[in-house]
Chain A
């Protein structure tokens, strides 16, 4: 059984997939498996899946019969995961070669770890970075805090408090709020930007801004305890 399972949903990302998968294959830590959940892609992603599953036996693909949304796809992958830990991965992001190694070293007595990340252009030019704070209630009030692409956590966390299937955006924020409320222990990995996050026209954060706002408002209401205390 592998130490870490990398779970990556993907929908019509044949133009970025290769960089993402390659960055997993190139990890310094070798004890992992990867579960790609194809969320009903209609592009040429399959050619790449075939290429990579042939190239590396640690990679496995689950095909969803139709597009079910990212939260659903993540949950399907997480259920299949064999690892003690699950590392979050998106199909347009890139792991630093030592992401898994460092995350594993730091997680020890915690339930979940995260780090800062680099922002890159579609062609991987550096355009900046994000250095998040430690997760505290105060910090959560103003910020999502946990850069989701950098998240790695014990498998049980994902099983006991899975992503909310009905959410097409902000599923990641809801997860953090749920976990925080459940009392999971988070740890920020200092002094490392373990992921490269691609900013492009297809990034959820740009194209679905309105939906994001609505869901955020709803979550704020739901988690009054965090957002409205004092």
Chain B
């Protein structure tokens, strides 16, 4: 398929490829945005991550059809791009600390507790090994063991082991955060 339009100013995306990709997008987008939300805890940030995932997916799988590989790829990419995004957040937090910037204003119904818990979860995910954080957000946002295995390119039997270790590590990180 010709995808060169992306490098050719003035040429529109071929309608046939867009409609094939649209079916894939509509099927996978809710899954991808949920995974991203599991990491970021923020709907807008999750939607931004999901957009970036599908921009890359279009270049890689312009006609995804029923490809399991494409599904697995966008799911894993959602976890990785979202985890990269919260790493950037750590740099931003540090920058704000150094600059003495204030916390943005909250809506009247957003409690300090909610904000702190979401921050703690993101910090915990940042401290976990990348594969542990990935297995957690994939499994806890609707993927089956078989789908997690496919997205992470591991055997199904290995998912339980990874998940158990990751959940235990997450609990310890959250406990440490609440003590400090």
Real binding pair: no
